[in-house]
Amino acid sequence: MRPPDASPRGPLGDFLCARRSLITAADVGLPETGYPRRVPGLRREEVAQLAGISIDYYTRLEQGRVRTASRPVLHAIGRALMLNDDQQRHLIQLAHPDEAERRGGSAPRVSPQVERLLANLADTPALVLSRYLDVLAWNRLAVALLGDLAAMEPGHRNYVRMTFLDPYVRSMLVDWRERAQEAVSALRLAAGVACDAPRLRELVGELSVRDQDFRTWWVQHLVTMRTSGSSRLDHPVAGRFSVDWQVLTCVDDGEQAIVLMSAPAGGPDHAAIRRLDAWAEAHGLTHGTAAPAAPLLTTPHAGASGTPS
């Protein structure tokens, strides 16, 4: 299934067009013209003026007739479009795809050392995510928090998909809208120039068809990478509590990230995690890794052993 925003402009042109539509003349100190704008945001000639480049060159760049640009030009365009650091890096990656690191097509594997780390973590739900946020490994507390990950269909075991389409996970996220936008942004940033990768095409295609919020946010080209934050959860066993989360990149595989969730010791949030851990131990939940032969379920959580209820 083809991503909804794919166009002849290509990833670079799509990104420039999306970001331009979000900036007004007032945002960059330009006077409003006396006639109405046909589309929201800056005009191409205004971006070119602010960046100090020719209108023709910027137009060809946005239309996909020029697929790259020098770094000084990209930085000038980034300033004109008020890009933050993450968005500027994304722009450069789109314009210089040959410089982006490429890995082979082999299935991602979590190292035994990382698996052991997850299994030995106490009071800390933890996951290993792939480039496209597929869940590759998890510990016991993550199962207690998110449900029976091993019983999910492999294509459904994805953090973004669970956030939008899994009723259990979606209802547990008290601040769902913020978390969902962060998930879309992380996926967009991870996609980079590989917008036609089969796994990404499948994931984005399904989410775009089934969730209007995802479709809207995806075509807006939200790009911001957060490596830490806080989430409020409403869990059927542990109750309502908050966790701090942090994302760590695996040193031996830059395409994988470890997500750790914790709470300050001695407080009510930590007590909720301890209740969750006691429940997980009583139900015999264990850590695990993604298995290609995972059983297929119509509803990932329905009737799954170890699912919070």
DSSP H stretches of helix in the chain: 10-20, 44-51, 55-62, 71-80, 85-95, 112-120, 140-146, 159-165, 167-172, 176-191, 198-210, 212-219, 268-282
Residue 134, strand partner residues: 158
pLDDT digit string, tens, across residues 197-246: 788 889 999 999 999 999 999 988 888 778 899 999 999 999 999 999 99
Contact 201, 233 (CB under 8 A): no
Side-chain-side CA neighbours of 145 within 13 Å: the count stands at: 28
| Token pair listed for 154 | 């492999």
- Total-model pTM: 0.72
Domains in the chain: ranges and CATH? 9-103 (1.10.260.40), 112-289 (3.30.450.180)
Whole-number pLDDT of residue 138: 95
Give me the pLDDT at residue 27, please.
86
Tokens of 84: 């933050």
pLDDT of 90 strictly over 90: no
Q: Measured between alpha carbons, how far is 38 from 35 in angstroms, rounded to an integer?
A: 9
Model confidence band, residue 30 (pLDDT cutoffs 50, 70, 90): confident
Structure confidence by residue, pLDDT tens digits, 255-270 = 889 999 999 999 999 9
Which residue type occupies 183? A
Provide the token pair at 20: 């331009």
* Structure confidence at residue 86 (pLDDT): 83
98: which residues sit within 8 A by CB, 6+ positions away?
none
- Tell me, what DSSP letter sits at residue 61? H
pLDDT band at 10 (very low <50, low <70, confident <90, very high): confident
Cβ atoms of 286 and 120 within 8 Å: the answer is: no
Strands 228-235 and 239-249, sheet pairing: antiparallel
pLDDT given for residue 85 in this prediction:
84
Q: Does the pLDDT value for residue 191 go beyond 70?
A: yes
Report the Cα–Cα distance between both ends of the chain, in Å, rounded: 34
List pLDDT tens digits, range 106-162. 557 888 899 999 999 989 999 999 989 999 999 999 999 999 999 898 889 999 999
Select from 246, 233, 284 the least CA-distant residue to 126: 246
CA distance 6 to 130: 23
* CA–CA dist 17, 206 (Å, integer): 24
pLDDT in tens, 37-86: 677 788 899 999 999 999 999 999 988 888 788 888 899 999 999 998 88
Is the pLDDT at 306 greater than 50, yes or no?
no
Query: pLDDT value at position 29?
Result: 83
Give the Cα separation of 110 and 287 in Å (integer): 13
Most confident of 32-41, 142-151, 298-307: 142-151
Cross-strand bridge partners of residue 229: 245
CA separation for the pair 190, 103 (Å, rounded): 13
Query: Is 193's pLDDT higher than 70?
Result: no
